[in-house]
Amino acid sequence: MHPYPPSPPVAVSDPSAELWQSAARVLDTNWSGDHMVPSRRLYPHQWSWDTAFIAVGLAFVNPARAWRDLRSLFEAQWPDGRVPHIVFDPATAEDDYFPGPGFWNVPAYAGRRARGSTGIVQPPLHALAAWEVYRHAAAHGADGVSEARTALAWLYPRLVAQQEYLTDRRDAGGSGLASIVHPWESGLDNSPAWDEALGNVPADLALLERFPRRDLAVAHAAHRPTDLDYARYIGLVRNYRDGGYSDTDLTQRHPFAVECPAFNSILGTAELALAQIAGVLGLTGDARRHRDRAREITAAIARRLWDPVTRTFRARDARTGRLSPARCVSGLLPLMLPDLPADRVTAIMEEARSERFGLPAPSADRTAATFDTRRYWRGPVWINVNWLLRRGMLVHGLRGEAEELRRAMLRLVHEHGHYEYFHPETGEGLGAPTFSWTAALCLDLLADRSAPAYSKAA
């Protein structure tokens, strides 16, 4: 029995009700007992930032599962505070996904079985997710709040440990920002933002003969990262794994260490969510520290990742100090930070409105030679990053723009389905079908009480 009944948003039109019901079915289909899978066909385990996005929407139809999904992920947290980007389902065979648990070869830790997770991370969106699930519970009365406070109290020290790991051990450039050690850590796997840094990573195609790709058995090769990229990905895993997953002297001994504007914007946003959570838990001193830390991260992003010539945010290679030449959707996400200088807010919105992007935003610059309408993060539209971009618009009071983007996202999914991502010109659904975060975020967008009901023709 749930503490409050799952229900669709008030005063919805027929298209909204249809979309709500289909999204709820996707989440029911992809539930695996104590966690959600992104999509059963291509992603049979639990992914880290997927869990966060999913919790936000799952709270509207099954709040108990939203809390359980977050808890399941953090039960796999490492002693150093890192939250692995995949928690492996022991019921899934090694051959059903590559690279699987045997390849990562993570030792047993904190009472967890060996080979239970990967050794890399993903964007720390989980504090924001926990806060959003709590807010939803608070809107439904005392019973929901009591359960939610208990869940927050369990999660809070683990969320803090996650932040401390990233701001301390991952500050490879000494700039006050976290570095990613693998493109997969960004969540934007094959983004052009990594091309220049990846060019310094050896690509041994013979690795793919020893370790055949399994994604191509269930997905079209033209939609996925290239073999050259994949060979580099596998080489980076081996290098980090063989170094014991250590973060010491990363810029000297590991061939990839990059400061991503999206990853670090989420890091700063997480501190603000932790300030809210600390307030609920009566930890006023902690709340002040989290707000101060968010301001410090924002200042570091503005100082370190801003390109004054092009007036855009870009990824920086912590090993070489060079800014990526690519304009990508990751450069729009500092909009999430409330203390971002006003001129940077204006510049982001100009970029989002320009011919290079447009709304909903594609994953990369439409005018660039590297733009690819079907290949994963090199052009397609993703609902999750547009959802984050919309949050940034609301943070800065851009309600008209936020509503335009909300309607565009809902229209895209209603017309084409709950796909992993979408063709930036035709809207065709691409990647995995019945994709959990697409469904979950549609529920959140439909339930936005500050917006008028969605209509397919709007």
Residues recognised as catalytic: 189, 420
Which tokens sit at 157? 């020290």
198 vs 190, 191, 204, 360, CA distance in Å? 10, 11, 13, 28
- DSSP letters spanning 343-359: HHHHHHHHHHHSTTS-S
Q: Give the Cα separation of 36 and 176 in Å (integer).
A: 33
Q: How many CA atoms lie within 13 A of 15 on its CB side?
A: 16
Q: How many CA atoms lie within 13 A of 235 on its CB side?
A: 19
Which residues fall within 8 angstroms of residue 189, CB to CB, at 6 or more apart?
183, 225, 233, 376, 377
Contact call for residues 237 and 103 (beta carbons, < 8 A): yes
Convert 364-418 into a string of H (helix), E (strand) and C (coil).
Answer: ECCCCCCCCCCCHHHCCECHHHHHHHHHHHHHCCCHHHHHHHHHHHHHHHHHHCC
21 vs 25, 92, 110, 170, 313, CA distance in Å? 6, 29, 40, 41, 38
Which tokens sit at 235? 């080489």
Burial class (CB in 10 A: 0-12, 13-18, 19+), 433: middle
Contact call for residues 186 and 236 (beta carbons, < 8 A): no
**Closest by alpha carbon to 208, among 93, 103, 88?**
103
147 vs 49, 66, 134, 423, CA distance in Å? 23, 12, 9, 41
Indicate the DSSP class of residue 112: B
Contact call for residues 120 and 185 (beta carbons, < 8 A): yes
**Closest by alpha carbon to 26, among 445, 454, 442?**
442
Which residues fall within 8 angstroms of residue 375, CB to CB, at 6 or more apart?
190, 222, 223, 224, 225
Q: Is the dihedral of CA 125, 128, 134, 137 positive or negative?
A: negative
